[in-house]
Amino acid sequence: MRSCIWRSAVGIYAVTAYSITQRTQEIGLRMALGAQPGQVVWMVMRRGPLQLAIGLSIGLVGAAGVGQVMQGLLVQISPTDPVTLAMILLVLGSVTVLACLGPARRAALLDPANALRPE
C-alpha cells in the first residue's frame, strides 16, 4: 500500500512540476505584470485537485467495473466498499495537496526577469 502511495505522490509531483516548467514564461509574465506570489501559488494549487477529480472519476468507474469482474476473488468485502473508496479519496487528496506545494512554492519564488529571458 505504501509503495502505491509513494508512486502516486511522485507521479502527481512530476506532472505538476513539468506543467510549471512548461508555463515558466507565462508565470514570469504574470509576475512582471503585478501578480502576487500568493496568486501564483493559488493558480498552481487549484490545478492539482482538478486533475485529481478527473483521474478519480475515471478510476472509480474502472474500479467498479474491475471489482465486478473480480468479485469471486474478494473475501469479506464488496467490490464497491465505501470505506475503502473513501480512504483512497482521502489519501490521494492529501498526497495531491502535498505534491503540489513544492512546485507552487517554486513558481511563487520565480524571478520574472529570468523567466522572460529567451533561452
Q: Is the dihedral of CA 35, 99, 16, 119 positive or negative?
A: positive
Tell me which of 67 and 105 has the higher pLDDT.
105
CA 102 – CA 22 distance, rounded (Å): 16
pLDDT band, residue 39 (cuts 50/70/90): very high
* Unique residue bearing C-alpha cell 496568486: 39
Looking at residue 119, its pLDDT comes to: 67
